[in-house]
Amino acid sequence: MRVITIVLGAAKHSGRTNMDAYSSNPLQVSYSDSSAPVLVAASSETAMLKAEKIISANHLRIGARLKIEEARERIKVQPKAAAVWLELDQDCGEEMDALISQVSHDVSRGLYAAIVSSTAPLLDKVSARIDEDDVEVIVDANDLERATALALAVSRTNAPFRVLDIGADNSAERLRQLSEEVNRIAATLSRLSAGPMASSKKLQDLPSGEIAPLSADTVGNVIRARRLRSRFLPEELFADPAWDMLLDLLQAEIRQHRVPVSSLCIAAAVPATTALRWLKTLVSQGLFVRRADPHDGRRVFVELAPETSLAMRRYFGEVGSIVAI
């Protein structure tokens, strides 16, 4: 197996001490002291162990293991970091919100890469604090999704990345086998972030004219018909998260409902991490719009951009009584 090592530049730690917030056995990994470390902040010891598993599997050095409440100050004094990994399995309130906001801001300044790993119940709270596309957000992720997120994040620092040997780890063989898959997916998702919906046809160039009235029931029937397919054929054959999210937001718009990030990810009918990547792309391309909840600072709503809404309504007007699935 061809191995590409990670070279991110020197990180000097003179006069500083790593603040290991969680006690654990020493990591059985080898690394060069010249590589910039990964700082890990976790909401519990169990969460910390999950993050350590993937980071150490990739031979990245863990510079500090931090509790959520101490992470902001520790990050500020870190001379250099390859990435910051936040592992969240419980709501830590204002400290968590402030930390996520700081990390998102730092990533926008190019200070380091970042991965935020969350459970599904925390998704809305996490999403409300991240306004930087390059923060990798994963939800209830498996090992492959975690390794892919790390590969994507590190790749944005222009550093080569590869899943490396993991020695005695029980899942070593499986992760080694996934090495090529992780890098293939990382490359694909990097292209995806540049625009999976790229097209020479602009929304504003669509034909003008009267738009036929469209009912929420009509859109709902399409959504139900799409879901029925999984009763007869494997569901994974029909994964189309962008279209599913477009339909869900159109139906909500007609009904004058607000759609939070977590609900839209469910409507996408794919794993939440995949849905979030599509959502991020659709927002960055101006097809969707994020709106802060005026009554809850820890929640964000998503809606169709005006041009997208118009395009969807024209589409349904064009197909008429034809079954649009």
C-alpha radius of gyration, the chain, whole number? 22
290 lies in a domain?
yes
Residues 144 and 290 in one domain: no
Which pTM does this prediction carry?
0.74
Please count the structural domains in the chain. Answer: 2
Domain end call among 157, 174, 193 = 193
Residues 122 and 242 in one domain: no
According to the model, what pLDDT value does residue 205 have?
56
Q: Give the separation between CA 102 and CA 243, rounded to whole angstroms.
A: 33
Residues 64 and 186 in one domain: yes
| Close Cβ partners of 280 (under 8 Å, ≥ 6 residues apart) | 133, 193
pLDDT band at 236 (very low <50, low <70, confident <90, very high): confident
Residues 160 and 258 in one domain: no
pLDDT tens for each residue of 152-194: 888 876 554 444 444 444 444 444 444 555 555 555 545 544 4
Residues 144 and 44 in one domain: yes
Mean pLDDT of the chain: 79
Q: How large is the average pLDDT for residues 99-117?
A: 95
| Close Cβ partners of 84 (under 8 Å, ≥ 6 residues apart) | 38, 39, 40, 41, 75, 103, 106, 112, 113, 114, 115
According to the model, what pLDDT value does residue 238 have?
84
127 lies in a domain?
yes
According to the model, what pLDDT value does residue 21 have?
42
pLDDT tens for each residue of 2-45: 333 333 333 333 333 343 444 333 333 333 334 789 999 999 99
Residues 143 and 224 in one domain: no
Residues 99 and 223 in one domain: no
28 lies in a domain?
no
pLDDT of 210 strictly over 80: no
231 lies in a domain?
yes
Q: Residue 282 is part of which domain span?
A: 203-319
Residues 216 and 97 in one domain: no
HSE of 207, CA atoms in CB hemisphere, 13 A? 8
Structure tokens at 125: 């709270």
CATH number of the domain residue 267 falls in: 1.10.10.10
Domain end call among 160, 193, 226 = 193
Residues 213 and 162 in one domain: no
Q: Residue written as tokens 């990382």?
A: 186
Residues 67 and 166 in one domain: yes
Domain end call among 193, 226, 241 = 193
pLDDT tens for each residue of 257-295: 999 999 999 999 999 999 999 999 999 999 999 999 999
